């Protein structure tokens, strides 16, 4: 089994500001959390402390908490997408050289095979955020995006459906089998069968256009807003009115 990392996003107490736009928001100056992972079983648990004294941990289970968990996963996926897109931006150098051109070919396969891996990972995770599945009861909708991002979003989803997930009707990737032989040749014509592979490495914005990174940052801001809204609602509607139940929980 490959090694993995469990990322902790602390629950934010009602006395602390909501800061879901960072990966590890501070619980407060007096709270701390330590993560432990069993190297054999992979079981992860956290020990919380307040002023160095161990805290009680109560698992919250409600419809709102399930939604908050779902948007937390979405936000984490989008953070991963941004990391991969920034890796692409640092490596991508062989784009079209003239205005009005939209396609280019690179002979640097070592670099662009890596770029393709980042791109497929990015559009796969991006597509996840707009798909409801078991274990994730929420998803984002195209209608939530600012209209100026719709075209770029649609392109991402098309690549996700027709390239990353499988080859689709748009024929973003395909192979043509061709027979090649000299146009003029006497007797025993030499020939060869070639497989012509057409497969994109990525699609990228030209100068002045909306970028993939800008799209994902915009979508992530929507997920963050949902996280903040739900966290505040859980505190106001579920925790504060039932404070005694939670403080007495074993």
User: What tens-digit pLDDT sequence spans the chain (250 residues)?
Assistant: 344 333 444 444 433 333 333 334 455 578 999 999 888 888 888 999 999 999 988 899 999 999 999 999 999 999 999 999 999 999 988 776 666 666 778 888 899 999 999 999 999 999 999 998 877 899 999 999 999 999 999 999 999 988 887 666 677 888 999 999 999 888 889 999 999 998 888 888 877 788 999 999 999 999 999 999 999 999 999 999 988 887 775 5
Q: Domain coordinates of the chain in residue numbers? A: 1-57, 63-171+202-247
| Tokens matching residue 192 | 């060869």
| Tokens matching residue 83 | 């990391």
Q: Rounded CA gap, 222 and 32, in Å?
A: 28
Q: How far is CA 238 from CA 59, 64, 246, in A?
A: 13, 9, 10
Predicted TM-score (pTM) of the model is 0.81
DSSP string of 105-171? --S-HHHHHHHHHHHHHHHHHHHHTTS-BTTB-----GGGS-GGGHHHHHHHHHHIIIIIS---TT-
């Amino acid at each position: 089994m490959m090694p993995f990392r469990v990322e902790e996003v602390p629950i934010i107490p009602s006395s602390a500001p909501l800061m879901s736009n960072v990966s590890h928001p501070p619980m407060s100056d007096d709270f701390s959390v330590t993560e432990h992972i069993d190297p054999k079983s992979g079981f992860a648990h956290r020990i919380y402390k307040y002023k160095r004294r161990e805290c009680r941990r109560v698992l919250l289970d409600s419809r709102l908490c399930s939604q908050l968990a779902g948007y937390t996963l979405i936000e984490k996926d989008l953070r991963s997408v941004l990391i991969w897109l920034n890796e692409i931006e640092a490596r991508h150098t062989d784009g079209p050289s003239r205005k009005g051109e939209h396609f280019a070919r690179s002979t640097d396969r070592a670099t662009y095979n890596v770029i393709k891996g980042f791109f497929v990972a990015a559009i796969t995770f991006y597509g996840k955020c707009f798909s409801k599945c078991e274990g994730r009861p929420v998803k984002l909708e195209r209608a939530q995006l600012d209209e100026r991002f719709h075209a770029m979003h649609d392109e991402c989803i098309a690549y996700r459906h027709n390239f990353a997930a499988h080859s689709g009707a748009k024929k973003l990737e395909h192979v043509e089998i061709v027979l090649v032989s000299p146009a003029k040749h006497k007797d025993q014509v030499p020939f060869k069968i070639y497989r012509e592979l057409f497969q994109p490495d990525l699609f990228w914005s030209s100068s002045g256009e909306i970028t993939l990174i800008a799209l994902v940052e915009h979508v992530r801001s929507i997920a963050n807003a949902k996280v903040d809204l739900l966290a505040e609602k859980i505190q106001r509607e579920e925790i504060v009115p039932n404070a005694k139940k939670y403080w007495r929980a074993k």
